[in-house]
Amino acid sequence: MSYSTKVLDHYENPRNVGTFGKDDEGVATGMVGAPACGDVMKLQIKVNKDGVIEDAKFKTYGCGSAIASSSLVTEWVKGKTLDEALTIKNTQIAEELALPPVKIHCSVLAEDAIKAAVADYKAKHGEMVETAACKG
Amino acid sequence: MNFDFSRNHFELFGIPPLYQIDTIQLEQAYRDIQSQIHPDKFAHLSDAERRLSMQWSTQANEAYQTLKQPLGRACYLLHLNGVDIHEETNTVMSPAFLMQQMEWREAIGEARAAKDTSELEHLTGQLRTEIQAQQHQLADLLDKEKNYPKAAEIVRELKFMEKLREEINYALEALDA
C-alpha cells in the first residue's frame, strides 16, 4: 500500500512530538488505543487561562497513518478553544491525509484522542473553565 | 456429499463451541473434510458441482484458520453470541492498560536501539506470561461465566499484546540480520 504525500510528510517530519513536563500548568492528556492494529496514541494539550489550546504534543506507536493523523491534529487543535477542538471529526482528518478505507481507524483514533484529552482537562479543571467562560 | 453452508464453524467440524477445544480433534476433522473434497475426486462432475465443492473447500479452510488461533476462536465465539469487539472503533481502553502499552513500546524501542538482544528476549518471556494469564481469564469468561462483554474487553487487550509480540519479533529479526 502506498501512502499519500501528506501522510509521508507528517510521517517523515512529525510535528509536535513529545511530552509536556509533569508539572506544566494547564496540561491534559488523552490516551487511546486501536485494537484493530494495536496502535497506541497519547495526545497532550496545553490550555491557557482563556480556555484556548496554545500547544499540543503527541506520542504515537503505530503505522504511518496513525502517526500522521496524530501529528496533524496537534497542528489543528492549536489556537482552538476546547469546544472548537471537539468539532474536529475523523472524516476531516481522513480527507486531509487521503487515508485509504483500511486506515480510517487511524483517524478515528486521533479524533478520540482529542476527546479524551479535552475530557481529561475538563475533569481536572472543570470549574476554572466555567469561570473563564462566564467572564468572557 | 452434503453441502450445508448454514452450519457455523464449530458445527462444520463437529466440535463443541468453546474457547478451550481439542486442537488435535479440530485438525483431524479439517483433514477429513479436505480429503473428501479433494479436487481430483470431482473430475467427473459438472462445472456447477465442481464450483460448489471448491466453495465448500474454501469455507472449511477459512473455518479452520479462524478456529485454529485462540484469538480468532475467541472473536468467532463472541460473534456467534452477538458480541462485536468493535476493534475498529472502540478506542477507549483503560488508561492503566494504555500506559502499560506505552511502557512496553518504549522498552522494546530502547532495547532495539541499544541492540540488546537479551533484553528483548527477557521482554518476550514477560509478554508470554502476561498473554497466558489473559488467555486463562478468557477461557473462564467464555466457557464458564459466559460473560461476553468482559471477554470482548480481554480480546481487545490481547490484540495489543499480539502487536507487542510482533514488534519484539521484528526487533529481534532486525538485530539478527
Q: Could you give the number of structural domains in chain B?
A: 2
Same domain, B62 and B125: no
Same domain, B58 and B100: no
A-contacting residues of B 64-93, CB under 8 Å?
85-93
pLDDT tens sequence across A5-23? 999 999 889 999 999 987 8
Beta-carbon contacts below 8 Å between A and B = 61
Same domain, B63 and B105: no
> Is B129 within the bounds of a domain?
yes
Same domain, B106 and B164: yes
Same domain, B54 and B119: no
Same domain, B48 and B117: no
> Is B121 within the bounds of a domain?
yes
How would you classify residue A27: left for phi > 0, otherwise alpha for psi between -120 and 50, otherwise beta? beta
Distance (Å) of CA B128 to CA B108, B122, B146: 14, 10, 25
> Is B105 within the bounds of a domain?
yes
Which sequence positions of A are flagged as catalytic? 37, 106
Pair A75, A58: CB distance under 8 Å: no
Q: Specify the DSSP element, H or E, that contains A96.
A: helix A90-97
Contact at CB, A61 and B91, closer than 8 angstroms: no
Confidence of residue A135 (pLDDT cuts 50, 70, 90): very low
Same domain, B59 and B23: yes
pLDDT tens sequence across A75-121? 999 999 999 999 999 999 999 999 999 999 999 999 999 999 999 99
Same domain, B105 and B64: no
> Is B73 within the bounds of a domain?
no
Contacts of B157 in chain A (CB under 8 A): 35
Same domain, B129 and B164: yes
Contact at CB, B102 and A42, closer than 8 angstroms: yes
Exposed e or buried b per residue across A52-71, where buried means at least 16 C-beta atoms within 10 angstroms of its C-beta? bbebbbbbbbbbbbbbbbbb
Q: pLDDT at position B16, please?
A: 96
* Domain enclosing residue B139, as ranges: 95-176
Same domain, B169 and B112: yes
Read out DSSP for chain B? Answer: ----TTS-HHHHHT--S-SS--HHHHHHHHHHHHHHT-GGGGTTS-HHHHHHHHHHHHHHHHHHHHHHSHHHHHHHHHHHTT----TTT-----HHHHHHHHHHHHHHHHHHHTT-HHHHHHHHHHHHHHHHHHHHHHHIIIIII--HHHHHHHHHHHHHHHHHHHHHHHHHHHHH-
Of A38, A109, A116, which has the smallest distance from its Cβ to B160's Cβ? A38
Pair A53, A120: CB distance under 8 Å: no
Give the CATH number of the domain where residue B168 resides.
1.20.1280.20
Contacts of B38 (CB under 8 A, 6+ apart): none
Contact at CB, A36 and B162, closer than 8 angstroms: no
Give the CATH number of the domain where residue B52 resides.
1.10.287.110
> Is B133 within the bounds of a domain?
yes
Those residues of chain B that have pLDDT short of 50 are none
